[in-house]
Structure 1
Amino acid sequence: MSATHRSNPEINLPLHVANLVCVRAGKAMPFTREEMSAIDKAPITAPVAVNFMGLTTDEQADRKHHGGPLKAVHQLPTATYEKINTEFDLKVRVGTLGENLTTEAVDGLPEMDESNVCIGDVYQYGGQYGDDKINGEDSVQLCIVQPRRPCYKINDQIGQFTKVPNIAAWVSKQGISGWYFQVVRDGTIDADLPVYLVERPYPFATLEALWQLANSKEKFDAEVIEPWLAIECLEASWKKVLAKKIKRG
């Protein structure tokens, strides 16, 4: 794919795209470098409330860089683990890298990943179809607002058990770090719920395309970048990065 963008094919919404197979939360524990961290997430076995700050049972030790309304809930494709384990001959287990949600595709659709989810996508976790709409007043709705930036804690987390250096840099280069949600509607969430894509206002804005633009050494015509800057929900630091990619003069 070029460093510009490609449009997703038109789809009819709402669409049942996946099932939620696991919900995870973590407790702040002693970590490396004499720090605390809740990067290791364990499965939750009962429904959990979700508000604007995320899962009420989930913790973040470093609230400056993790958590908050624009990083309320983290989802990571299981393929990330498969890629890491294949590349480095490891056995890193799912849940090690801080994700709250794990989904599984349905009806022959592709797994949710950075190539097919978009900034601005709104997903509903739970509810049922009825009269061409999705019912479920207590169902959580989440909006993708930014990719996750891999940090040194991924290195420290995996490095506790391996001698592999700087896996975070490799994950970043691959653009496979998952994404953060802002909570659109509070509710409760649990494993085995259906996942519906209910809104896709920016079908061009895949996380894959954003990652390529943000990390490119090239400059781009304004017409390539400006549509991204017009995405209201895109987290501000990403807009700053993209704005610097516009050709001047």
Structure 2
Amino acid sequence: MKLIPNPIPEEVNAAILAINVGQPQLLPGQKQEVWSSIVKQPVAVPVFLSFTGLTGDAQADLVNHGGPDKALCVYDYSRYEAIEQQMSRKLQWGAFGENLTVAGCTEETVRIGDVFEFGDAQVQVSQPRQPCFKLSARYNYKALPLYFQESGHTGFYFRVLKEGEVGPASRFRKIRTDDSSMTILEANRIMYQEKQNVEGMRALLALPALADSWRQTLLKRLNKLESN
């Protein structure tokens, strides 16, 4: 399908700071075995982006991570400072297991369904990231997943609309948006803070680009509320 871009103001364009990949490994210091690909390293050369992710990247938990709707995890570097202060440590790019460490893509500005040109590829925002215990396991900092959830600064996922080669120097810009769609921050608020917000859930479910995993979670919650 050929995408017809809407004019996007130059100031909302974004930048890639790092492309990060990793393989499943055992996280140290845990009471039981925890395998994860949250430890990622930046790549120095272009890699291929397929419909399921980057060459050289993999997931340890294929039930909750990966798949076409979650081909790329994205996090804005502007969020690092607050977390660094909380944990009293300096963090490197890819610190939270994101594939793309970016600038100019905060949860307040990115909307479900936004389409970006990324090197030879095109990608679309599908859902917010859902923080899990492996964030705390990596740093032995139990409050980290809850901080992500309560702040709404979770990052988000891309699905891939068009495969292609991407690299640290690749062009990365928003080419299509819909101002009536929900931002990542708004979607997080409905998922985590406003669990009784029926109108909000219906509005989120009405977004064609919303990932199926979020759609199923919201439908179950909505059905339960409406049956009571």
Q: TM-score, normalised by structure 1?
A: 0.78
Output the CA distance in 2 between the equivalents of 1:117 and 1:186. Answer: 21
Aligned with 2:112 (options 111, 114, 119) = 119
Question: Within the alignment, does 1:191 sit opposite 2:191 as a pair?
Answer: no
3-state SS in 2 of match to 1:184: strand
For residues 204 and 70 of structure 1, the distance between their equivalents in structure 2, rounded to whole angstroms, comes to 18
* Aligned counterparts, 1:183-222, within 5 A: 183-201=160-178, 203-217=180-194, 219-220=196-197, 222=199
Is residue 125 of structure 2 the alignment partner of residue 172 of structure 1? no
Q: Give the match for residue 5 of structure 1.
A: none
Higher helix share goes to which structure? 2
User: Aligned partners of 2:203, 2:142: CA distance in 1, in Å?
Assistant: 37
**Aligned pair 1:233/2:209, yes or no?**
yes
Which of 115, 131, 151 is the equivalent residue of 1:150? 131
Q: 1:221 to 1:22 in 2, by over 3 A?
A: closer
Kindly indicate whether residue 8 of structure 2 is the aligned counterpart of residue 13 of structure 1. yes
Matches of 1:221 and 1:169, distance apart in 2: 23
Give the deviation of 1:208 after TM superposition.
0.4
Deviates more, 1:77-86 or 1:14-23: 14-23
Cα deviation, 1:51-98, whole Å, max 9, x if unaligned, reads 111002111111121111111111111123211112332323321211
Deviation for aligned residue 1:203: 3.8
Mapping for residues 67-146 of structure 1, pairs under 5 Å: 67-104=66-103, 111-126=104-119, 139-146=120-127
Deviation at 1:47, TM superposition (A): 0.7
Is the 2:149–2:192 Cα contact (8 Å) retained in structure 1?
no
Amino acid at match of 1:121: D
Q: Alpha-carbon deviation of 1:221?
A: 5.5
Task: Give unmatched runs, 5+ long, in structure 2.
Answer: 1-5
RMSD between superposed Cα atoms in Å: 2.3
Q: Contact 1:21/1:193 (CA < 8 Å) preserved in 2?
A: no
Matched, 1:49 2:48: yes
Contact 1:96 1:157 in 2 (8 A): no
Q: Which amino acid aligns with 2:203?
A: P
Distance 1:77 1:19 in 2: 10
Superimposed CA distance per residue, residues 161-195 of structure 1 (whole angstroms, 9 cap, x where no aligned partner): xxx43311121111112111110000010012221
Is the alpha carbon distance of 1:196 and 1:217 closer, same or farther for their aligned partners in structure 2, counting shifts above 3 Å? Answer: closer
User: Paired residue for 1:133?
Assistant: none
Is it true that 1:22 corresponds to 2:18 in the alignment? yes
Cα separation, 2, equivalents of 1:245 and 1:26 = 36
**Identical counterparts, % of pairs:** 28
Question: Please, which runs of 5 or more residues in structure 1 have no aligned partner?
Answer: 1-10, 105-110, 127-138
Tell me if structure 2 keeps the 8 A contact 1:214–1:241.
no
**Corresponding pairs, count:** 216
Structure 1 residues 220 and 156: CA distance shift in structure 2, 3 A: closer
Distance 1:177 1:47 in 2: 26
The alpha carbon displacement at 1:23 in A equals: 0.9
Alpha-carbon distance, 1:36 to partner: 2.2
Distance 1:245 1:204 in 2: 20
1:204 and 1:13 map into 2 onto residues whose CA distance is 15
SS at match of 1:75: strand
What is the Cα deviation at residue 202 of structure 1? 5.2
